[in-house]
Amino acid sequence: MLLASAAALPLLLGAAGCRSSDVFTGPDPLAGRPPLGHDVLTLQAVITAEENMIDLYQLAISGDPGTTRAQTLRSLLAQHQQHLVQLKARLIVPPGASASPSPSSASPSPRASTVSITRLRAAERASAADLVRRLATAPPALAQLLASIAASDATHATALGG
Amino acid sequence: MASTGAVAALQAALAAENAAIFGYGVAGAHLTGSSQAAAEQDWTAHNQARDALAAMISARGAVPAAAQAYYQLPFRVHDAPSAIRLAAYLEDGVTRAYLGLVAVSDQRLRRFGAMAMQDAAQRAASWRGSTQAFPGLTPLVLLALLAP
């Protein structure tokens, strides 16, 4: 009976004026999970960058914990931690997909002694520029959050003497 | 034909710039020395931004909204500390206004708005003496994002 039905399907479609390729045009349910949306990929990349920035600040503070400089860095670090909370709150990953991308291998992990103010300042500037670059393809609400974080990062660069 | 959303966002930014120009006039009268020089510099920056926005609005076939003759200040400004608070308040308002441009579909306007936000946030931080985590975004908006 099943075989008979399957064999009859092209005839039925033909009678309806359809070809089988016209009917099954959606995503193949057997092809696995669909790729993540661009906004999810953007959020994942920005979250990773924010986590790297937090690591950088923590290293800088650990190398010089009792100084006035460390106090300034702690206040900027706290703002980066707030950025991370807001970014993560927006990340909704489909079930079964990886919640966070693999760590970036673009730059090797620095040691505490190598994290200078100059390096933090450069990282803040680079982050602000990267976030603005991502605005073009972000949905409006996400674009506003990224622009606000970029503005915060720009003020951090200035606070660090830039 | 420009989108009405883009023109509305540009008009909102223009209104904030006009308010800042008025406010800096008040603040500058209570400042001296380097603070007064900074206020003058910022006042000039807002005038230039106003002219740029007016040109962008005109280029889109709309009429730039005129500045008001008088703006209600958020608090009484009677000395240097209150003048400095006013300057920071004005810059916060300008930052918020440019946030609207970041949400329009025109990518060049988004970038323009984002860069203007950075300028205003820098000036606000300079007057306030501290940075903010989310320039232009209100705590209520951020709380709404975190709500389940």
What is the per-residue pLDDT across A28-85, written as a single tens digit (0 to 9) for each?
Answer: 767 777 777 888 999 999 999 999 999 999 999 998 777 888 999 999 999 999 999 9
Assess if residue A28 is contained within a domain. no
Q: ipTM beyond 0.85?
A: yes
Chain B: closest CA distance from residue A22 (Å)? 33
**B60, burial (CB in 10 Å: exposed 0-12, middle 13-18, buried 19+):** middle
Percentage of chain B with pLDDT > 90? 90
What is the per-residue pLDDT across B42-71, written as a single tens digit (0 to 9) for each?
Answer: 999 999 999 999 999 999 999 999 999 999
**Per-domain residue ranges for chain B?**
4-146
Among all residues of chain B, which has the CA nearest to that of A151? Answer: B118
CATH of the domain at A68: 1.20.1260.10
Assess if residue A141 is contained within a domain. yes
Assess if residue A16 is contained within a domain. no
What is the per-residue pLDDT across A71-122, written as a single tens digit (0 to 9) for each?
Answer: 999 999 999 999 999 999 998 877 666 665 555 544 556 665 578 999 999 9
**How does residue B2 score in pLDDT terms, banded at 50, 70 and 90?**
low
Assess if residue A18 is contained within a domain. no
Domain interval for residue A73: 38-92+103-159
Specify the fold of B4-146: Ferritin (1.20.1260)
Q: What is the pLDDT of residue A27?
A: 67
**Spatial contact of B58 and B64, defined as CB atoms under 8 Å apart:** yes
Assess if residue A17 is contained within a domain. no
- Does A7 have pLDDT greater than 60? no
Higher pLDDT: B74 or B138? It is B74
Residues of A in contact with B146 (CB under 8 A): 85-86, 89
Domain count, chain A: 1
Chain B 108-147, CB below 8 Å of chain A: which residues? 110-111, 113-115, 117-118, 120-122, 124-126, 130-137, 142, 145-146
Which of A132, A145, A152 comes nearest B121 by C-beta?
Answer: A152
